[in-house]
A and B are shown apart, each in its own frame.
Chain A
Amino acid sequence: MSGIKSFNGGIHPAYNKDLTSGSETVLMPAPERLVVPVGQHIGAPANPVVKKGDIVKLGQMIAEPGGFVSSPVHSPVSGKVISVQPEEHPMGSRIMAITIENDGEDTMVEHQTISEPLEKDPDELKEIVKNSGIVGMGGATFPSHVKLSPPADKPIDFIILNGAECEPYLTADHRLMLENPESIVSGLEIISHITGVKKLYIGIEINKPDAIKKITKALGKKGTVVPLAVKYPQGAEKQLIKAVTGREVPPKHLPMEVGAIVFNVATAHAINKAVTEGIPLFERIVTVTGHGVQKPGNFLVRTGTMVSEVVDFSGGYTDDAAQLILGGPMMGKSSATDGVPVIKGTGGILVLPSAEMLTDAWGPCIRCGMCLRACPNQQNPQLLGNLIEKGLFDKITEDKLEEIVLDDCFECGSCTFVCPANRPIVQFFHMAKAYFRAQKRK
């Protein structure tokens, strides 16, 4: 189809979005106790500024940024701090978390609303974004204020909002675009005001025609909605920029290198809420889905709510629930327990029944080349996968391929998805990354 933008490579997994795409977002009441990790973003973890016994209000900053590339954390409820100690984190390790007992009042901390944000000084708005703990909500959780501060020698031509939502199963962004299109557009305008960039785009995969319609209407003449081909990973930052602008971000570079900045639609919504309503980021839409839950749906959940509580609220597990994935099936993390909290980047809770779990048996590479055609970054998963499998790390260094492993592969999983020998190529890359990072530290 003409007019539908895309990129080279990629795959077509079963999307399974109809499980939840028609379910309106349901507000989940805050639970009695919330465990709020101080690390919910990429960069330095935040430092707790409350201690056991403190009374906190809803939206009060409870941890301050640990550096420039860092982000504060706010209390998702009002209540009492009952502990500040390491707890289980959804990414698999134990890190510092603030546990709060909810008083059920939702007493909001003192805050400021701005009805005409576009009249305000851009730097003031940027400060609000920074102080509101806004991070990229597509899953990468990169602190948003850093993206809003490009260096002077990198002129920015485009702001692109990412409404692709290419991960199978997930519909959180889809629902947000249907239910809050004006807020997303307002967030985009605020971003445009802060950065001074006038060319505004919102990219949406064409499997969401209702969202395209709503956003197009809300956006009016302020920007352009770009219909995107339904292909994974269409929502990956560099692939989205390629589809929308035709420009390719070079390896090891940030999008600003080609004059683009990308935000998720949910991030734009969060920025709008922070600026116009004075509400920092402490809740998000989570898609609870898969054939391992009784009633799939979309829920507005406070950060710090346990995954087990969210699933319970949605209707519970099925009897054969076997695997819990935080995020989507392509890049989401398989969690050994549901005793971990929802954080700012948790867009989905996917539960697979045992029948849908993949076999881990794999065989030798037959050089079919399917991984090469699937790789959206035109990398060399075939060769590197084989070298890593054999432990030939020196050969990788010798051929100057470690940069590819370390910087260019973002573990989208396309190569592994198509591999007929079922080789765990992403896992190979992950192992090699750990190896080369350790080498560099030496």
Chain B
Amino acid sequence: METRSFKVSYSPHVHNGASVHKIMWNVFLALVPATAVSVYAFGINAVRVLFVSTFFAIFFEALALLMRKRDWKQCFDGSAALSGLLLGLTLPPGISTPIIMIGSFVAIIVAKQVFGGIGSNPFNPALTGRVFLLIAFTEPMTTWPLPRGIEQAKNYLGLATTKTADAITAATPLAAIKEHASKAMPNVSLNDLFFGLHTPGSIGEISVLALLIGAAWLLYKKIITWHIPVSTILTVFVIATITHFLSPAKYPHPFFHMFAGGLIIGAFFMATDYVTAPIWPMGKLIFGIGVGLLTIVIRLWGGYPEGISFAILIMNATTPLIDKWTVPGPFGSKTLRRQS
């Protein structure tokens, strides 16, 4: 009987269809609500910042891939675009275009491609870019235009606002708290922090509600697990609660710490970055606790009003070690332990 030839490949011969591309797209989708709120709140300025950061991230990725003699079309795998978008979301809406481009350069070239591109970077690219800008361009990085709803915003915190050439600016809630820590506690509406339309801040961090909608999507699609965000936020909450009850006049309410600043976007969208965070559940919990501790320590006693970026980057450095320590025993190892 005649036989027939076939193509061969190694098992398994089926796949669930997951791809890096699809994961990245889902994270983009999860960032749509926060981006929409920021565009509503800050207008065309937000669009400009996000477009420039994303476009140049892809541009620098392509450039680096060409220099490394790799397929430059990999710049469209979504990872560079996502780093760019996340960088944009951590910037103040009024920041100038050249500074954003420098941020994208640091994020993609210095933090990612120098180490070998996707999968090889030890530090979160977007946050590396942001922290570089914060140190190098402190003034523009801490100048916060007020969002829309100017009437309410005028009385924001009861603090003086500053009128610059093109915007009215004010301190972020966390910065205000820092300045006034020793005096009377500024009155910040938790509602404003939660919905995010009336407080200044980084483009992506202002609306907790919008971020949580996106986070729910990531959890639902099983793109992230609960371990890192829950342990991070819970740690901040616990320390904030203890300090608040010890000295309510000095330390703000724990809900304030949860809703103000970059805790939510950091815990759900930055600390959960696959490449730079631990991989096992126990490791993720340790990592999250570390991020939470460093964040609240910097916020309460450090030199900066916000500490989540530094906290995540510092914990990124511990990831290889945590990964090594937290490998669970293989299937059946419990039985061996019981027997011995």
Taken residue by residue from 11 to 23, chain B's Cβ proximity to chain A (1 for < 8 Å, 0 otherwise) reads as: 1111110111011
Give min CB distance, A332 to chain B, whole Å: 6
Give min CB distance, A310 to chain B, whole Å: 11
Q: Tell me which residues from 1 to 44 in chain B have a Cβ below 8 Å from any Cβ of chain A.
A: 1-16, 18-20, 22-23
Taken residue by residue from 248 to 287, chain A's Cβ proximity to chain B (1 for < 8 Å, 0 otherwise) reads as: 1111010001100000000000000000000000000000
Q: Which residue of B lies closest to A239 (CB)?
A: B331
B9 touches A330 (CB 8 A): no
A325-B329 contact in complex given A335-B8, A336-B6, A418-B18, C-beta closer than 8 Å: no
| Chain B hits for A426, CB < 8 A | 10-12
Q: Does A95 contact B (CB under 8 A)?
A: no
Q: Tell which of B3, B14, B23, B74 touches A358, judged by Cβ atoms closer than 8 Å.
A: B14
A308-B118 contact in complex given A250-B332, A330-B12, A332-B13, C-beta closer than 8 Å: no
Give min CB distance, B83 to chain A, whole Å: 13
A337 touches B11 (CB 8 A): no
Q: Tell which of A11, A308, A331, A369 touches B16, judged by Cβ atoms closer than 8 Å.
A: A11
Give min CB distance, B151 to chain A, whole Å: 46
Q: Does A380 contact B (CB under 8 A)?
A: yes
Q: Tell me which residues from 333 to 372 in chain A have a Cβ below 8 Å from any Cβ of chain B.
A: 333-339, 350, 352, 357-358, 360, 363-370, 372
Q: How far, in angstroms, from A247 to B331 measured CA to CA in the complex? A: 10
A312-B1 contact in complex given A358-B13, A426-B10, C-beta closer than 8 Å: yes
Q: Tell which of B274, B336, B339 touches A367, judged by Cβ atoms closer than 8 Å.
A: B274
Q: Which residue of B lies closest to A376 (CB)?
A: B331
Q: How far, in angstroms, from A369 to B335 measured CA to CA in the complex? A: 25
| Chain B hits for A379, CB < 8 A | 330-331
A364 touches B7 (CB 8 A): no
B8 touches A364 (CB 8 A): no
Q: Tell which of A251, A335, A360, A377 touches B6, judged by Cβ atoms closer than 8 Å.
A: A335
B16 touches A13 (CB 8 A): yes
B279 touches A248 (CB 8 A): no
| Chain B hits for A430, CB < 8 A | 10
Q: How far, in angstroms, from A323 to B4 measured CA to CA in the complex? A: 10
B2 touches A308 (CB 8 A): yes
B3 touches A337 (CB 8 A): yes
Q: Tell which of B4, B23, B332 touches A238, judged by Cβ atoms closer than 8 Å.
A: B332
A329 touches B23 (CB 8 A): no
Q: How far, in angstroms, from A76 to B33 measured CA to CA in the complex? A: 67
Q: Does B327 contact A (CB under 8 A)?
A: yes
Of the four ranges (under 10, 10 to 19, 20 to 34, 35 or more), the interface on chain B belongs to 35 or more
| Chain B hits for A417, CB < 8 A | 12, 14-16
Give min CB distance, A343 to chain B, whole Å: 17
Q: Does B149 contact A (CB under 8 A)?
A: no
Q: Does B182 contact A (CB under 8 A)?
A: no
A250 touches B12 (CB 8 A): no
Q: Tell which of B4, B20, B22, B327 touches A337, judged by Cβ atoms closer than 8 Å.
A: B4
| Chain A hits for B18, CB < 8 A | 370, 418-420
Q: Tell which of A332, A337, A408, A422 touches B331, judged by Cβ atoms closer than 8 Å.
A: A408
A338-B4 contact in complex given A13-B16, A330-B12, A331-B11, C-beta closer than 8 Å: yes
Give min CB distance, A262 to chain B, whole Å: 15
| Chain A hits for B302, CB < 8 A | none
| Chain B hits for A367, CB < 8 A | 119, 274-275, 279
Taken residue by residue from 174 to 202, chain A's Cβ proximity to chain B (1 for < 8 Å, 0 otherwise) reads as: 00000000000000000000000000000
A330 touches B5 (CB 8 A): no
| Chain A hits for B183, CB < 8 A | none
| Chain B hits for A13, CB < 8 A | 14, 16
| Chain B hits for A422, CB < 8 A | 15, 19
A324 touches B6 (CB 8 A): yes
Q: Which residue of A lies closest to B277 (CB)?
A: A367
Q: Which residue of B lies closest to A409 (CB)?
A: B330
Give min CB distance, A342 to chain B, whole Å: 14
Q: Which residue of B lies closest to A367 (CB)?
A: B274
| Chain A hits for B1, CB < 8 A | 306, 308-309, 312
Give min CB distance, A328 to chain B, whole Å: 9
B118 touches A363 (CB 8 A): yes
A366 touches B14 (CB 8 A): no
A360-B9 contact in complex given A367-B275, A418-B16, C-beta closer than 8 Å: yes
Q: Does B334 contact A (CB under 8 A)?
A: yes
B330 touches A330 (CB 8 A): no
| Chain B hits for A357, CB < 8 A | 7, 9, 13
Q: Does A382 contact B (CB under 8 A)?
A: yes
Q: Does A168 contact B (CB under 8 A)?
A: yes
B274 touches A368 (CB 8 A): yes
Q: Does B248 contact A (CB under 8 A)?
A: no
A238-B6 contact in complex given A329-B14, A332-B13, C-beta closer than 8 Å: no
A378-B330 contact in complex given A367-B279, A411-B11, C-beta closer than 8 Å: yes
Give min CB distance, B73 to chain A, whole Å: 12
Q: Tell me which residues from 319 to 340 in chain B have a Cβ below 8 Å from any Cβ of chain A.
A: 323, 327-336, 339
A366 touches B119 (CB 8 A): yes
Q: Does A404 contact B (CB under 8 A)?
A: yes
Q: Does A416 contact B (CB under 8 A)?
A: yes
Q: How far, in angstroms, from A367 to B273 measured CA to CA in the complex? A: 9
Give min CB distance, B254 to chain A, whole Å: 30
Give min CB distance, A126 to chain B, whole Å: 28
| Chain B hits for A143, CB < 8 A | none
Q: How far, in angstroms, from A122 to B16 measured CA to CA in the complex? A: 47
Q: Does A4 contact B (CB under 8 A)?
A: no
Could you jot down 15 A-B contacts, CB within 8 Å? A248-B335, A250-B333, A330-B13, A335-B6, A339-B3, A357-B13, A364-B119, A366-B79, A366-B275, A369-B225, A369-B274, A379-B330, A417-B12, A419-B18, A422-B15
Closest 4 CB pairs of A and B: A413-B12, A339-B3, A364-B119, A250-B332
9 additional A-B residue pairs with CB within 8 Å, beyond A329-B14, A378-B330: A324-B4, A334-B7, A337-B4, A338-B6, A357-B7, A368-B274, A378-B328, A420-B22, A426-B11
A binding-site residues for B, Cβ under 8 Å: 8, 11, 13-14, 168, 238, 242, 247-251, 253, 257-258, 306, 308-309, 312, 317, 321-325, 329-339, 350, 352, 357-358, 360, 363-370, 372, 376-380, 382-383, 404, 408, 411, 413, 416-422, 424, 426-427, 430
